[in-house]
Structures are given as structure tokens and as C-alpha cells.
Amino acid sequence: MITNLKKIPKSLFNKMIETVMGTEKITWYKTINWEQAIRAFQGSKTVYPSYYTLVNYHGIKNGYLNPIAAITYDIITPLATLPSEQWLRQYLLKAITVNPKKILELGCGTGTNTINLKKTFPDAVVIGLDLSPYMLVIADKKAQKDQQEIIWKQGLAESTEIPSSSFQLIIISLLFHEVPNAVSQAILKESWRLLKPKGQLIILDGNQNRLRHMKWLTQLFREPYSATYAQGNIIEWLEKNAFQDIQVQLAGGIYQVTSAYKFQ
């Protein structure tokens, strides 16, 4: 078993990114006027927290505030969600028990789940929220390609500024391992506020117990908060924030799907 994998040098990691992207992706990336594209999603009052700006997610300078992160996300994610990203995301959809009229995905990234949710519930209003305007640019392009009408919103998952009791379903996918544990718990508190009574929350992320024994994976993918996430306990976090009927299903590889409800 690998127990002490050294971090890949930045120069080599960047070269790997370029290789994985391929010529077509690099060319497409260079044709986008990013400054203009992100204006459609940037809020004038958006303040980026230090936990977000002071780390280089996946070894990319400036993390998700770098367009490279947005371009490479859909390439790297299948590698990080082996054996099958598609199967894992379907596992999330199967956990839904409510019939939502309004859905929110917090930390929607490039919108893969968000688009799947809209296809599954075509009559529902679906909102994807992310702090990175670059990720939202890609998400919007994907939604337009699939002819899916989705509302994209830039904002903090822990402080959305959305009215209380707005949603029957909230999804949080692959987000908690990318923020400090205190922020994850703040996001759960916000999720409780946003859910309607009898609303459902579904979380897809790494199984914390499994991750505790796989420090090398954190190093490989250059995840700044995964190690501390692994020391936490999602079930305790949910109970602390008054969620009930908490159910955990182990999914492929290192992942789990957690479902909980707001009954009050």
C-alpha cells in the first residue's frame, strides 16, 4: 500500500494537465474571452473568503479562480471518481425520494449534476450555485448544449442570500472535502434554513473513514482540505443541525451518498 506519496512537482503537474486537456481543449480555452464571459455570473458584492483564495486546488494556481480549473474539471473528475463517475452520479439520483418543484445544488461546479437533475425533473425550477464564475461559465455552456434551462448563481454555499424555505431538494456533491470542516457545518445550517418542511438533503462525497487510510490520494490530487475532512463525521454534523432520518449508502470506491430530511 502507498503510504507516503510525495507531491507531484508543480511543473510536472502542469505538464500533465496540458497533456490531459489535449490540443482541442486548449484551443477552445484560448478562444474564450474569460473576462467578458464571467461578467454574466459575477456578483458585484461577492467577497471570496480566505479559505478559498489562499489555496491552490488540485495544484492549480489560484484554484477555482483560474479558468484552467474550470476547463480541466470534467477531465480530472472521472479519474477521481473511479470506477465510474456516471454510475456514482446515478447513485445520487436514485437516493431522491421527494418530488421537488424547486431544486438547489450547492457547489455545482461545471453543472454535471445540475443538468442531470433538470433532465430527471424537467418541470422543476433548478438552481446551480457556485463561488467560481469560471465554473459557472462552463456549466452554462453545457446546459445550453443540452438545451436545459437552469438558473446559475454565484455565491457562498454557507451564505446564499436566498429566502428561507425555498426548496424541496438540496444537493451537495463533492464539496465538503474542498472546504474546512467549520464551513461544511455552516453549509448544513444554511441548507436547513433553505429547505421546506419535509425537504430532502443529499450529500455525495468521500467516505470519511475510508479517506483516513488513504492520505496518498489527498496528496495525489492536491486537495488542501481532504485530510481534515476525513477526520470529521457527516452524521454528527447533520444531527447537530437538526436533520433527521439520516441514511448513509456506501457507493463506488471511496464515496458515499448521505440522505437526510428536515421534518420541522
User: 259 lies in which domain range?
Assistant: 1-264
Ramachandran category for residue 60: left, alpha or beta (phi over 0 → left; psi -120 to 50 → alpha): beta
* CATH at residue 214: 3.40.50.150
Task: Provide the grid cell at 255.
Answer: 464515496
Rounded CA-CA distance 55/225 in Å is 9
Q: Taking the model in full, what pTM does it have?
A: 0.89
Q: For the chain, how many structural domains are there in total?
A: 1
Task: Label residue 152 by pLDDT band (50, 70, 90).
Answer: very high
Task: Provide the grid cell at 52.
Answer: 478559498
The tens digit of pLDDT for each residue in 180-234 reads 999 999 999 999 999 999 999 999 999 999 888 777 666 666 788 999 999 999 9
Note whether 89 and 174 are within 8 A (CB): no
Across the beta sheet with 102-106, what order do the strands follow?
151-154, 125-130, 102-106, 167-173, 195-206, 255-262, 244-250
The tens digit of pLDDT for each residue in 63-118 reads 999 998 898 888 888 777 777 788 888 899 999 999 999 999 999 999 999 999 99
Phi, psi of 23 (to 5 degrees): -60, -40
